[in-house]
Structure 1
Amino acid sequence: MSSAETQSAPHAESPGKSRWSRWKRPLTMLFFLALIVLFTMLARRIEWNEVFDTLADFKVRTLIIASGLTLVSFLVYACFDLIGRTYIRQDLTWKQILPVGIISYAFNLNLSAWVGGIAMRYRLYSRLGVSKANIAKILGLSLATNWFGYMVIAGAVFSSGLVRMPPGWKLSSTALQGVGVLLLLVSAGYLAACQFSKRREWSIRGVEINLPSLRMAVLQLALGALNWSLMAAVIFTLLPSKLDYPLVLGVLLISAIAGVITHIPAGLGVLEAVFVALLQHEASRGSLVAGLLAYRAIYFILPLLITLVMYLVVEAKAKSLRIAKKPG
């Protein structure tokens, strides 16, 4: 009887496996086709001559500093996924995680969060043998790290009154300070929950969510805030020297909210509009637009071109990097 059960088990699983085998190749081709279409659309939107002309006006030293800060920022963002290892039961090394984090971030910035933050992570992590449940945990922790880090630093900057909103805007300077205080309270509430909550696990639609320890939560907030600070540092390097860094940071944080609300990939136009509106009395419109164009080239376009090559390498080496399945 045991031999019959042994023989019947594979047959019971074969229909599901065969269906997946039939759909796997077409879905993979569809994924790559979608990427090609998105890349083509993005390339057509970019005024390449304007980009090259703008970069040529900057000192080489300035471009090197901005590029170095960009590299550090991408590494910090990739660490969002790295700390996710704490909550999964699969052995992942930093050599497997960091490339996925870097690639996802570049695609996220240029092709929207759905493509980079979600689809690309699912594609690459599944190729590495990570289960869907664990991919969801890594993604959730990464999103929490980014936005709780945003809340901490935005709360501090907004509540300090460093950024003054222009007359006529729906959000006044006083209201912005109130938003800052609210963000700080939410961040403090998250830390308090991590420290004192007796319930540590939730299940939402079959996905297990674990509340991190206080130490891990502090690390999340620190990494998230650091990445936003580095993004502002890149812009600050490329804008006129008379602008103060805290002011540039505050304007970036405001533009990030506007970019999320409008759902425009790479926040096209939103970033420039917010910076010009808030800083037009501090620097000329031309210098602001030139600096932001250089920022897009260094922080968005260049990393995307590099990570496209990285993505192809990871796809090619996915089998050798795949996690070994543990018996039983």
Structure 2
Amino acid sequence: MSRTEAPAMRNAEHPAKSRWSHWKRPLTLLFFLALIVLLTMFAQRIEWNEVFDTLADFKVRTLIIASGLTLTSFLVYACFDLIGRTYIRQDLTWKQILPVGIISYAFNLNLSAWVGGIAMRYRLYSRLGVSKANIAKILGLSLATNWFGYMVIAGAVFSSGLVRMPTGWTLSSGALQGVGVLLLLASAGYLAACRYSTRREWVIRGVEINLPSLRMAILQLALGALNWSLMAAVIFTLLPSKLDYPLVLGVLLISAIAGVITHIPAGLGVLEAVFVALLQHEVSRGSLVAGLLAYRAIYFLLPLLITLVMYLVVEAKAKALRISKKPK
């Protein structure tokens, strides 16, 4: 094959990719413009006086309970990385691991997975002497723990029929139950692979991935499901008391997928839109929005402020250590 033929063949092999690259930016722009329009229409339909009155009526006890559940959720998420420590078999203490998990989670929630889940973990773990390959393993195990835990809890809730989709939605209630069954089967398949698979190692882009033991996989699913349950508990605490917890949990799980699809940091506006769409016939829109605004303040913004201070302290200690090690 001549040198002039090779580029021509490569171009011919990827016409769809070239077309997608050409249209990706304008389509993304149109998507966000449409989203802004939808959120504006959503905001205009809310009785904001009711929202502010509801926020003002929150009891201190309610806010303390929601804050305690938030702290518990962050600790549970940080335990994902404790599993990762066992997975990579590196000598790190829990006092080193937990701050990394908590800081990463807060930045992940507010500033996207690229900033919190990936960049922050790489920076903090590299300071602890963890290799890039092992950091990638910890990150991968954390992602697996989160989403396999999601599959277990979402599969149980969706398949039970506790969440009913509004009439006219593309995804019917029956289809949602089918999705739940598929999620449970996928979770069972993961556990079966961890128990019975004869091949335990794969290499993807130079990173070796080892299939965990069945005991570790069960712990992953339990912790992941527990964290999603705690997130729903925070919202449940802040929403009107007439709503049932399983229903709130189910709506949160649906909104999580909508947030992943839209790729909006913190799912801003998406979470609120899904909750109002699915629960507006149960309680007023204003009370829903008020509870979700309080949830964002307690579960997203407050932890971000706290972990920002934690991160600055970690950076200051690292800088002081570097200065002390410089030859005089």
User: What is aligned with 1:155?
Assistant: 155
* Whole-Å separation in 2 of the counterparts to 1:111 and 1:292: 18
CA distance in 2, matches of 1:54, 1:218: 41
Give the count of matched residue pairs.
328
Separation in 1, partners of 2:151, 2:11: 52
Which residue number corresponds to residue 116 of structure 1? Answer: 116
User: Structure 1: which 4+ aligned runs deviate by more than 6 Å?
Assistant: 1-54, 319-328
How far apart are the structure 2 equivalents of 1:102 and 1:149?
A: 18
The superposition leaves residues 207-243 of structure 1 with CA deviations (integer Å, 9 ceiling, x where unpaired) of: 0101011000000000000000000000000000000
Give unpaired runs (5+ residues) of structure 1.
Answer: none
Give how far 1:6 is off. 46
**Aligned pairs for 1:1-328 within 5 A:** 55-318=55-318
Secondary structure of 2:326's aligned partner: coil
Runs (5+) with no aligned partner, structure 2:
none
Aligned pair in 2 of structure 1 residues 264, 50: CA closer, same or farther (>3 Å)? farther
Conserved 8 A contact 1:128-1:318: no
Question: Contact 1:100 / 1:124 at 8 angstroms: preserved in 2?
Answer: yes
Residues 35 and 69 of structure 1, relative CA distance in 2, 3 Å threshold: farther
Judge which range, 309-318 or 138-147, deviates more. 309-318
**Quick one: distance in 1 between partners of 2:7 and 2:175?**
69
What is the alpha-carbon distance in structure 2 between the residues aligned to residue 48 and residue 232 of structure 1? Answer: 24
Aligned-pair distance for 1:198? 0.9
Instruction: Give the superposition deviation at 1:91.
Output: 1.3
**Does the 8 A contact of 2:42 with 2:273 survive in 1?**
no
SS in 2 for 1:203: strand
CA contact (8 A) 1:51 1:293 kept: no
Q: Quick one: distance in 2 between partners of 1:127 and 1:26? A: 40
CA contact (8 A) 2:104 2:116 kept: yes
Compared CA separation, residues 163 and 321, structure 1 to 2 (3 A): farther
TM-score by length of 2: 0.82
Q: Kindly indicate whether the alpha-carbon contact (under 8 Å) linking 2:259 and 2:267 is maintained by their aligned counterparts in 1.
A: yes
Q: 1:116 to 1:29 in 2, by over 3 A?
A: farther
How much has 1:14 moved relative to structure 2? 41
Can you list the C-alpha shifts for 1:90-122, whole angstroms capped at 9, x where unaligned?
311111110000000000000011111111111
How many Å apart are 1:246 and its aligned residue? 0.2
Q: Return closer, same or farther for 1:278/1:179 CA change in 2, 3 Å cut-off.
A: same
Secondary structure at the residue paired with 1:3?
Answer: coil
Structure 1, 1-10 or 113-122: larger mean CA deviation: 1-10
Assess if the C-alpha contact under 8 Å between 1:127 and 1:319 holds in 2: no
Q: CA deviation at 1:85?
A: 1.0
Identical counterparts, % of pairs: 91
Does the 8 Å contact 1:235/1:292 carry over to 2? yes
Structure 1 residue 318, shift from structure 2 partner = 3.2
Counterparts in 2 of 1:98 and 1:208: CA distance versus 1, 3 Å = same
Post-superposition shift, 1:202? 0.8
Cα distance 1:261–1:303, how it changes in 2: closer, same or farther (>3 A)?
same
Shift of 1:28: 30
- Alignment RMSD, CA only? 10.4
Change (3 A) 1:305 1:113: same
TM-score (norm 1): 0.82
Displacement of 1:314 after TM fit? 1.3
* Distance in 1, Cα, partners of 2:275 & 2:138: 33
Q: 1:315 to 1:113 in 2, by over 3 A?
A: same
Deviation at residue 327 of structure 1 after TM alignment: 21
